[in-house]
Amino acid sequence: MLQTFTKEERLTNKKLFEQLFSEGKQLKIFPFRLVYLPKKLEIPTPVQVALAVPKRLIKKAVQRNRIKRQMRETYRTNKHLIYSNCTESYILIITFIDIKEWKSEALGEKMKILIEKFISVVNENT
């Protein structure tokens, strides 16, 4: 499986964002919060993902961009877990909820734990 993060995998639709925040369920593994919603998608990927770092918590754009870049990288390298274990399609948003920067290795470990927890919750419900 390719470890890319293509345009089709990114959640950009404003209506889907609103629906995700109004109806979605959430999981927390510090420093991440994942909000998810089962949704039938017209694309070949099982999930569409958005990544967010709130300006309210991280004031400097340089720091926010670095954290988003780290989050993209850690998601991209661990997304094979979702692809191989999910039968339904989902829309997700992963939000960074800490007030300080993290090292990439630590974020990678936490992202993997978050994805594994998401898979277990989803498989438990189906």
* Tens-level pLDDT at each residue, the chain (126 residues): 678 888 889 999 899 999 999 999 999 999 999 999 998 877 778 899 999 999 999 999 999 999 999 999 999 999 999 988 888 889 999 999 999 989 999 999 999 999 999 999 998 876
Q: What is the pTM of this model?
A: 0.91
Which tens digit of pLDDT belongs to each residue from 45-56? Answer: 889 999 999 999
Relative to beta strand 32-38, strand 90-96 is antiparallel
Q: Measured between alpha carbons, how far is 108 from 43 in angstroms, rounded to an integer?
A: 27
Tell me the C-alpha distance between 47 and 62, whole Å.
Answer: 28
What are the φ/ψ torsions at residue 38 (nearest 5 degrees)?
Answer: -65, 135
- Domains of the chain by start residue, with CATH: 7-125 (3.30.230.10)
